[in-house]
Amino acid sequence: MKKLVILALLSLNASAQTCLDDVTETASAEQFVVNTDGTATHTESGLMWMRCSLGQTYSNNDCIGEGDELNWQQALDEAHGYTFAGKSGWRVPNLKELATLTERACVRPAINETVFPSTLSDDYWTSTPAVTDANRAWVVAFFNSSNALKEKRLFVYTRLVRTVD
Protein backbone atom coordinates (compact mmCIF):
# COMPACT_ATOMS: atom_id res chain seq x y z
CA MET A 1 0.00 0.00 0.00
CA LYS A 2 2.82 2.44 0.87
CA LYS A 3 4.42 1.84 -2.54
CA LEU A 4 1.16 2.77 -4.28
CA VAL A 5 0.84 6.00 -2.28
CA ILE A 6 4.46 6.96 -3.00
CA LEU A 7 4.05 6.20 -6.71
CA ALA A 8 0.84 8.22 -6.82
CA LEU A 9 2.56 11.19 -5.16
CA LEU A 10 5.49 10.95 -7.58
CA SER A 11 3.07 10.90 -10.51
CA LEU A 12 1.27 13.99 -9.26
CA ASN A 13 4.56 15.81 -8.79
CA ALA A 14 6.20 14.55 -12.02
CA SER A 15 6.50 17.99 -13.59
CA ALA A 16 7.75 19.88 -10.53
CA GLN A 17 11.34 19.97 -9.34
CA THR A 18 11.88 18.41 -5.93
CA CYS A 19 14.76 19.58 -3.72
CA LEU A 20 15.93 18.44 -0.31
CA ASP A 21 16.60 21.18 2.24
CA ASP A 22 19.08 19.10 4.21
CA VAL A 23 21.44 18.42 1.25
CA THR A 24 24.19 20.90 0.41
CA GLU A 25 23.73 22.56 -2.99
CA THR A 26 26.25 21.52 -5.62
CA ALA A 27 25.39 24.10 -8.30
CA SER A 28 24.07 27.16 -6.47
CA ALA A 29 23.15 30.35 -8.32
CA GLU A 30 26.07 32.09 -6.58
CA GLN A 31 28.47 29.98 -8.67
CA PHE A 32 27.24 31.63 -11.87
CA VAL A 33 27.15 35.06 -13.43
CA VAL A 34 23.82 35.14 -15.23
CA ASN A 35 24.16 37.29 -18.33
CA THR A 36 21.29 39.10 -20.05
CA ASP A 37 22.04 37.44 -23.42
CA GLY A 38 20.87 33.92 -22.54
CA THR A 39 24.23 32.74 -21.22
CA ALA A 40 25.61 32.02 -17.77
CA THR A 41 29.27 31.93 -16.77
CA HIS A 42 30.46 29.44 -14.17
CA THR A 43 32.87 31.49 -12.06
CA GLU A 44 35.01 28.57 -10.86
CA SER A 45 35.64 26.96 -14.26
CA GLY A 46 35.37 30.07 -16.44
CA LEU A 47 33.03 28.25 -18.81
CA MET A 48 30.12 30.05 -20.46
CA TRP A 49 26.94 28.00 -20.87
CA MET A 50 23.84 28.46 -22.97
CA ARG A 51 21.03 28.76 -20.44
CA CYS A 52 18.68 26.89 -22.80
CA SER A 53 18.88 23.55 -24.55
CA LEU A 54 19.51 23.50 -28.29
CA GLY A 55 16.17 24.07 -29.99
CA GLN A 56 14.79 26.30 -27.24
CA THR A 57 14.66 30.10 -27.52
CA TYR A 58 15.79 32.36 -24.69
CA SER A 59 13.19 35.05 -23.94
CA ASN A 60 12.32 37.06 -20.82
CA ASN A 61 14.57 35.03 -18.53
CA ASP A 62 13.06 31.72 -19.68
CA CYS A 63 13.63 29.02 -22.28
CA ILE A 64 10.71 28.71 -24.67
CA GLY A 65 9.79 25.71 -26.78
CA GLU A 66 10.94 22.14 -26.97
CA GLY A 67 14.57 21.14 -27.05
CA ASP A 68 15.93 19.40 -30.14
CA GLU A 69 16.65 15.71 -29.76
CA LEU A 70 19.75 14.89 -31.78
CA ASN A 71 21.94 11.86 -32.20
CA TRP A 72 25.54 12.26 -31.01
CA GLN A 73 27.02 13.14 -34.41
CA GLN A 74 24.22 15.63 -35.10
CA ALA A 75 24.92 17.32 -31.76
CA LEU A 76 28.63 17.62 -32.56
CA ASP A 77 27.84 18.90 -36.08
CA GLU A 78 25.30 21.44 -34.79
CA ALA A 79 27.84 22.83 -32.33
CA HIS A 80 30.53 23.24 -35.01
CA GLY A 81 30.45 26.87 -36.10
CA TYR A 82 27.43 27.66 -33.90
CA THR A 83 26.93 31.32 -33.03
CA PHE A 84 24.82 32.40 -30.05
CA ALA A 85 24.64 35.70 -28.16
CA GLY A 86 27.07 37.14 -30.70
CA LYS A 87 29.71 34.60 -29.70
CA SER A 88 31.34 31.67 -31.47
CA GLY A 89 33.36 28.75 -30.15
CA TRP A 90 30.37 26.82 -28.82
CA ARG A 91 30.84 23.06 -28.40
CA VAL A 92 29.30 19.99 -26.79
CA PRO A 93 30.72 19.78 -23.24
CA ASN A 94 32.75 16.84 -22.04
CA LEU A 95 31.45 14.62 -19.24
CA LYS A 96 33.26 16.41 -16.42
CA GLU A 97 32.12 19.84 -17.63
CA LEU A 98 28.45 18.92 -17.99
CA ALA A 99 28.42 17.13 -14.64
CA THR A 100 29.35 20.43 -12.92
CA LEU A 101 25.85 21.71 -13.76
CA THR A 102 24.05 18.97 -11.86
CA GLU A 103 22.33 20.00 -8.68
CA ARG A 104 22.47 16.90 -6.50
CA ALA A 105 20.05 18.34 -3.95
CA CYS A 106 17.27 18.29 -6.57
CA VAL A 107 15.59 15.93 -9.02
CA ARG A 108 13.26 16.40 -11.99
CA PRO A 109 15.35 18.33 -13.07
CA ALA A 110 18.65 17.99 -11.21
CA ILE A 111 19.88 21.47 -12.12
CA ASN A 112 19.58 25.01 -10.78
CA GLU A 113 16.37 26.19 -12.45
CA THR A 114 17.09 29.84 -11.67
CA VAL A 115 20.22 29.72 -13.83
CA PHE A 116 18.99 27.10 -16.33
CA PRO A 117 15.20 27.50 -16.66
CA SER A 118 13.01 24.92 -18.37
CA THR A 119 15.72 22.27 -18.45
CA LEU A 120 14.30 18.93 -19.50
CA SER A 121 14.48 16.12 -16.94
CA ASP A 122 16.26 13.87 -19.38
CA ASP A 123 19.62 12.86 -20.83
CA TYR A 124 22.02 15.41 -22.38
CA TRP A 125 24.93 14.54 -24.67
CA THR A 126 28.54 15.02 -23.75
CA SER A 127 31.39 14.99 -26.25
CA THR A 128 33.03 12.14 -24.31
CA PRO A 129 32.96 8.87 -26.25
CA ALA A 130 33.06 5.46 -24.60
CA VAL A 131 36.58 4.08 -24.31
CA THR A 132 35.66 0.48 -25.11
CA ASP A 133 32.70 0.90 -27.49
CA ALA A 134 32.91 3.19 -30.53
CA ASN A 135 29.10 3.16 -30.83
CA ARG A 136 28.44 4.77 -27.44
CA ALA A 137 29.05 8.11 -25.70
CA TRP A 138 28.44 9.52 -22.23
CA VAL A 139 25.29 11.40 -21.25
CA VAL A 140 24.35 13.26 -18.08
CA ALA A 141 20.82 12.65 -16.85
CA PHE A 142 19.20 15.81 -15.51
CA PHE A 143 16.46 13.67 -14.04
CA ASN A 144 18.66 12.67 -11.10
CA SER A 145 22.24 13.90 -11.89
CA SER A 146 23.52 10.48 -12.91
CA ASN A 147 25.56 9.63 -16.00
CA ALA A 148 25.58 6.67 -18.35
CA LEU A 149 26.69 5.44 -21.74
CA LYS A 150 24.15 5.67 -24.57
CA GLU A 151 24.16 4.48 -28.16
CA LYS A 152 25.32 7.38 -30.36
CA ARG A 153 22.39 6.73 -32.72
CA LEU A 154 19.83 7.60 -30.01
CA PHE A 155 18.21 11.04 -29.91
CA VAL A 156 19.15 13.05 -26.82
CA TYR A 157 19.09 16.72 -25.75
CA THR A 158 22.14 19.03 -25.90
CA ARG A 159 23.37 22.13 -24.06
CA LEU A 160 26.40 23.94 -25.48
CA VAL A 161 29.38 25.49 -23.68
CA ARG A 162 32.32 27.68 -24.63
CA THR A 163 35.52 28.78 -22.99
CA VAL A 164 35.39 32.48 -22.06
CA ASP A 165 37.87 34.57 -24.05
The string of pLDDT tens digits covering residues 52-88 is 999 999 999 999 999 999 999 999 999 999 999 999 9
C-alpha 28 chain-centroid distance: 15
47 burial level (CB within 10 Å; 0-12, 13-18, 19+): middle
**Tens digit of pLDDT for each residue in 128-157?**
999 999 999 999 999 998 999 999 999 999
- 5, containing H or E segment: helix 2-12
Instruction: Give 39's strand partners.
Output: 50
pLDDT band for 24, please (50, 70, 90 cuts).
Answer: confident
C-alpha 98 chain-centroid distance: 7
pLDDT band for 15, please (50, 70, 90 cuts).
Answer: low
The SS3 assignment for 27 reads: coil
The answer on pLDDT for 31 being more than 50 is yes
Q: According to the CATH classification, is domain 17-163 in 1.10.3470?
A: no
pLDDT band for 13, please (50, 70, 90 cuts).
Answer: very low
pTM for this entry: 0.86
C-alpha 37 chain-centroid distance: 18
Q: Answer for the pair 42, 29: CB distance below 8 angstroms, yes or no.
A: no
Enumerate the domain spans of the chain. Answer: 17-163
d(CA 41, CA 34): 7
Q: Are strands 146-151 and 136-141 parallel, antiparallel or unpaired?
A: antiparallel
